Amino acid sequence: MKLHEYQARDLLAKYGIPVTRGGVAVTPGEARAVAESIGGPVVVKAQVFVGGRGKAGGVKLADTPEQAEQVASQILGMSIKGLTVEKVLVAEAISYTKEIYLSAILDRAAKRVTMIASAEGGVEIEEVARTNPDAIIKISAHPHLGLLDFQARELAFGIGLTDGKQARQFAQIASALYRVFVESDASLAEINPLVIRADGSLQALDSKVLLDDSALFRHPDLAALRDSSDEPEAELRAREADLTYIKLDGTIGCMVNGAGLAMATMDVVKLYGGEPANFLDIGGGAGKEKVKAALQIILADPNVKAVMFNIFGGITRVDEVARGIVAALEEVQTDVPMVARLTGTNEEEGRRILAASRLIPAATLAEAAEKAVAAARGA
């Protein structure tokens, strides 16, 4: 789950990280009011989940509240890479002498949270890694003790902050950002740029936070911040139906229970020359409403030429799944051919139930994949 810049800024501020003053506005009048409260030049920034806002005209400076209202009226409602701007962040415009990059990520290879810093801030870290990898400093936090003080100072020294006061402030910010990452169950917490002001102090000018969807149940306050405006409709509908769905580019829709089985199903489809149209895990239960929602999501993709059910009845009984499929098919009208492979508890009864439907039966995963590929080509 992505946070808007203003939401990430507010989260960082709770941990004592110095951020710019300002507020979010949804109308030009509100933008003017925020600018008046700041009492100086401001920057008005479109709040959309895409990069390149500045180049698209979504970031503008304003010297007065009147100008802030004017530029906000220009930005609000504009389209940036297909997304309509509905909110703007009005923040104080500050002068600075240098830009720094700082982030916390999960390094899966090291199996630790890793802090990344670079003296070359203000640009994407991927570009820095490509053009000047030596400018990037990485330090992995201890899995139990966290980011230690000496490690935070090493980051500061590594990017050239030799002034003692400055290095200490950077270390404090790095430690706070680490806590943001861990305590929010984030997958990324980034400040870019972290700027050095004329008086030598540091301030977070722009920030980005990505949260782990699987941990949101532990953070209802953060889950309430979700903005679904950038989510594909199918993925939004899947989340509402408690399904895990990812659209792919193939022609064979896959409905499977279990993430591992879903991955194996896609592999076997490719083995037999087909291309999966999606990853869809219906989870442990497969009642009528859930199967119906999953089918509707799969069939909404115009590229789908065949649907393949691959259900393993462990805790969930196969006959219950079969009844759910039959009931769902009575309400979802389609001519798309469908192949069903169901195995596990009460599979004989499940197959008997499906025998009366128009589904193409398959005894094994290989047979199901082969029949689904043939059906898609025939369609």
Is 379 a residue whose pLDDT tops 60? Answer: no
Among residues 190, 320, 347, 370, the one annotated as catalytic is 190
Residue 220 parent element (H or E): helix 220-223
Q: Is 320 marked active-site?
A: no
Distances (CA, A) of 354 to 109, 111, 324, 348: 45, 46, 10, 10
Among residues 6, 101, 178, 245, the one annotated as catalytic is 101
What are the pLDDT digits (tens) for 234-270?
Answer: 777 888 777 889 999 999 999 998 889 999 999 999 9
Other C-beta atoms closer than 10 Å to the C-beta of 356 total: 8
What are the pLDDT digits (tens) for 91-134?
Answer: 999 999 999 999 999 999 989 999 999 998 877 888 888 888 88
Residue 101 parent element (H or E): strand 96-107
Q: Please indicate whether residue 95 or residue 314 has the higher confidence score (pLDDT).
A: 95
Q: Which domains does the chain have, with CATH numbers?
A: 21-92 (3.30.1490.20), 96-223 (3.30.470.20), 231-378 (3.40.50.261)
pLDDT of residue 321: 79
Length in residues, the chain: 379
What are the pLDDT digits (tens) for 338-365?
Answer: 999 988 888 888 888 888 788 898 989 9
pLDDT of residue 63: 95
Please check whether residue 204 is in contact with residue 191, taking contact to mean a CB–CB distance below 8 angstroms.
yes
Q: Is 5 marked active-site?
A: no
The Cα angle at residue 370 between residues 369 and 371, in degrees rounded to 5: 90
